[in-house]
Amino acid sequence: MASDIDKSTFDRYWQLFANPMLVNPTNQISLELKTLDSPLNWQEVFGNDRLVEIEVGSGKGRFLKESAQRNPDINYVGIERASKYFEKSCERLAKHNITTARLVYCDAPYFLYRCVADQSVSAFHIYFPDPWPKKRHRKRRIFNNSIWISELVRTLNNKLGEIYIATDYKTYFWEIRELFDCHPSFEYHPDKSTETNYIPTSFEIKYRKQGLPIYRAVYAKL
């Protein structure tokens, strides 16, 4: 866990968050995350030692479902803090019998901080994070969370780690780019950032139908 933050603050938050859990959608077996006294062991969670990729904000589960079907040799974890979308994701993955994905009901920064081991994630997919466009709300943006970047660095694999980002909100995109461009642990990959053979989320499909531009970036951990 990160050592340069006020742990008591996040411990209090952890206790207040309503029943954070990890769920296997295909059999409905769940693990109450508050019971953990050490980070998750992915091999125990999935029953294998394959690479693990995490989607932050899994929404209705489209990306997780499509990714798991396209890449059966990768384990996926979707984090969702909105209960209605968490339930929709569970239903979608169960309907399609996706056995290589797990869902987490929790706030992403605190899940990483409390439950994810060092260098145990091969990729993060952060698509269409809430831009909180009103100035007074911008402190709520996930990239403004005091532990977010440091937890991405800590949990991302040193040799394989990549972060995939997409948003329709131009100013927020460039603020995120600046954070990563200035960080010594990340390198921008322009070729991967412009690839077209990727799986769009439900939000991206919606926004493209509206004619909105989509901004994408890929960073590798150094």
DSSP 8-state secondary structure symbol assigned to residue 199? P
- Residue 34, token pair as written in the block: 């508050």
CATH number for the domain whose boundaries are 7-221: 3.40.50.150
Active site residues: 130
- State which H helix or E strand residue 23 sits in: strand 21-24
pLDDT at 131: 84
Q: Are 53 and 66 in contact (CB under 8 A)?
A: no
User: Which amino acid is residue 57, in one-letter code?
Assistant: G
Which residues, including other chains, have CB under 8 Å from residue 187's CB and lie 6 or more apart? 219, 220, 221, 222
Pairing mode of beta strands 21-24, 29-32: antiparallel
Q: Where are the domains of the chain?
A: 7-221
Which residues, including other chains, have CB under 8 Å from residue 205's CB and lie 6 or more apart? none
Q: How far apart are CA 176 and CA 49, in angstroms?
A: 32
Low-confidence stretches of the chain (pLDDT < 50) are 1-5
Which residues, including other chains, have CB under 8 Å from residue 222's CB and lie 6 or more apart? 184, 185, 186, 187
Strand partners, 22: 31, 104
φ and ψ at 130, to 5 degrees? -55, 120
pLDDT at 140: 78
Q: How far apart are CA 34 and CA 148, in angstroms?
A: 20
Give the global pTM.
Answer: 0.91
Q: How far apart are CA 201 and CA 66, in angstroms?
A: 9
151 burial (CB, 10 Å; 0-12 / 13-18 / 19+) is buried
pLDDT at 175: 94
Radius of gyration of the chain (CA): 17
Which residues, including other chains, have CB under 8 Å from residue 49's CB and lie 6 or more apart? 42, 43
Q: How far apart are CA 94 and CA 11, in angstroms?
A: 32
Query: What would the pLDDT profile of 9-29 be if each residue is shown by its tens digit?
Result: 556 555 555 689 999 999 999
